[in-house]
Amino acid sequence: MYNDETNYTAYNSEPQPQPQPQLTKKGLRAMRKAQRIERKASQPKKKNWFVRGIAMVVCAVLLGGVAGVACYGVSYAGYSLFPIKNDSQTESSAKTTTTAAQLGNVNANKDITATVYDVSDIVDSVISSVVAINGEYTQEVNYGWFGSQTQKATVSGSGIIIGSTDDELLMVTNAHVIDGVENLAVTFYDGSKVSVEVKNKKSSYDLAVISAKLSDIPKDAIYTIATLGDSSQIKVGEAAIAVGNSMGYGISVTTGCISALDKTVTVDSTEYNNLIQTDAAINPGNSGGALFNAQGEVIGINSVKMSTTGVEGMGYAISISSVKDIINELSTTDSRKQLDDDERGYLGITGVSITSQISQTYGYPVGVAIRSITKDGAADKAGLIKNDIICSFDGETVETIDSLVELMKYYAAGETVKVEYYHMNSSGEYEKTSTSVTLTSNPEK
């Protein structure tokens, strides 16, 4: 029977002495052996450092192997997913081809080719077809209360050798590179230098062709004629190589890719179309230089760089296919030299620019609106009147008064040229017409 009082007393009473058992010698030995075993069991075990060291080495090897496989996988995927096409003629290229199915691409029938390459072989074959252009222009410096003063300043740009005749070497560049520039000269990649003349230009396309007399070129000069490619076949993401006279320091190379096609950019109220956008660095002095593809063909003429704060890698080149006919036209005309003031021909007008922006806002045709006419001057004798808008001079599109003044620096007094202009009819609408104008000498003299 369960007894609460008995249990409580048993847990709280003092212990009663018990008689000690008597041990024999055999029992004593057994007790001491048990005590030794107990003491040994209670002592901490010694660590086996040799075994632990081997385990750590094995773990490190395993972790290193896993990391190596991971790095290889990332690199392999990167080269496979973001290929760069190489020059098919570069013998040193190392090609790696991976099928789309291996990459998990839904289009398993399309192969993706990844190629690692350098552009040194391509550059070696094309760099001598690009020249550095240098010259001088007169600028007016305003000193505030102390008045203003004119002084000479240097200008630099680039050009592409596009061909030769029996006595001339022909080069194409941007019109803005040579506008108003005197003492023009080009320097070949090997350092040889020669004077050049402006053959012709079209400011509306920002193109000009310059020429050097073969007899003036040093006999040891090294140069090659560039191969003009087909820019209508290029794709976004293809390799792009820009070559030019960056910052006027001599011919240099930058690389990148084709970022976009058929872009439109407006510079100084002039709109340029069919431009190629690239992230290959285009800096001051690169204007007029070449944009090559991976086959060493010219696909563009470097012209403009977006230089707004926060913008990087936005350069633009004129698509070569869109201007081949214009380049050929400019190349076949007679070379023109910039004339002194007393030799130049004059229209005898004052005018203002009707830019594309003004045209869109107010509906006027783009060109130069005549504000006043010198009596018995060239324009007056040709029948032009106030408010007529000149849009073309000798086949060259005219959009600003500055471009018209610059263009006429190459025409002598007494020359007859065709001038196209808009005239407002009795209905208040502008009609395009043309007339022949015989230029006169400076009316102020």
> Could you list the active site residues?
176, 206, 287
CA distance 187 to 127: 12
Other CB atoms within 10 A of residue 93 CB: 16
Distance CA 146, CA 123 (A): 51
Pairing label, strands 207-213, 168-173: antiparallel
402, two tokens: 């500055």
Distances (CA, A) of 277 to 58, 298, 377, 433: 54, 15, 46, 37
DSSP conformation class of 11: H
Nearest to 203 by CA among 137, 272, 265: 272
**CB 392 within 8 Å of CB 420:** yes
Instruction: At 87, give phi and psi (nearest 5°).
Output: -60, 125
The full length of the chain comes to 445
* Alpha-carbon separation of residue 3 from 13, 14, 16 (angstroms): 16, 19, 21
Would you say 130 and 251 are in contact if contact means Cβ atoms under 8 Å apart?
Answer: yes
Q: Enumerate residues 6+ apart whose C-beta is below 8 A from 255.
A: 119, 239, 240, 241, 242, 280
Q: Do residues 336 and 199 lie in contact, with contact meaning Cβ atoms separated by under 8 Å?
A: yes
Contacts of 400 (CB under 8 A, 6+ apart): 268, 269, 270, 353, 355, 368
